[in-house]
Structure 1
Amino acid sequence: MDATGLSRRKLLGVGASALTVSFAGCMGGGGDGDDDIPENTVIVGPDNRFVFEPDSLTVSPGTEVTWEWESDTHNIVVQSQPDGASWEGTEGGETNTFNTGYVYSYTFETPGTYEYDCAPHRQQGMVGEIIVEE
């Protein structure tokens, strides 16, 4: 035992606990930049990256989801949706794009998975999904 009355083993245990708590914030939830995104909002092209953030969002039926453009030349093209759903994505199809500041919203009613992408950046992996669960 050292002069403080702590054994080496106890001191290592305290250090390991502190390390676990320190890493807990890195494991998801907080600290990943999503804290500033309003609930049920998807950021389109943040930091000029070809991504939707978050790329997957789970909501209840009747929830309005909003997409906010933070960079240029993006759209939302629906690739698949549940039977009975009628989501069309942004107007104009694959060739019409929108720029920074554009806001698009849609209320999802039919349960299931909705997959979408940005047509100009599909090859770069700019894809997303909305999961509607009861």
Structure 2
Amino acid sequence: MDNKTLSDLTQKALAARSNAYAPYSRFHVGAALITEEGQVFAGCNVENAAYPEGVCAEAGAISAMIAAGGSRKIATILVAGKGPAPCLPCGGCRQKIREFATQRTCVLVVDEDGQQLFKDNLHALLPASFGPENLETGTDKTSS
């Protein structure tokens, strides 16, 4: 990914982060993904008083991608958290990313200033994963 695309993706994730609804944890997270075709989608975390009913930023970005139609293959997903420790996707989000990942899907994490804290492929975060191809039914061929 070239520097301009990376900068644009970072800015989209940071902008989404600024819109997060996190009155309970006060931990704002934004995410932006780019598809293999170059479409960019962003999302932010949205908390709920019934804690397990919240939505992670990564899930929001993925939902935006699906709602828009078109590509369903994530080339790169970038997560913008807070603080010096990387805000890596939770286990549930790792599996959600995996649903639309390719062998090359990259996961990036930046801090609230856009400084990169982590970069690796999804396999490093979710090795030996279970995906759509494990459930091949012959009705929906969206997996790679």
Q: Could you state the TM-score of these two structures normalised by the residue count of structure 1?
A: 0.29
Structure ranking higher on relative contact order (CA contacts 8 Å, 6+ apart): 1
Q: Could you state the TM-score of these two structures normalised by the residue count of structure 2?
A: 0.28
User: Larger Rg: 1 or 2?
Assistant: 1
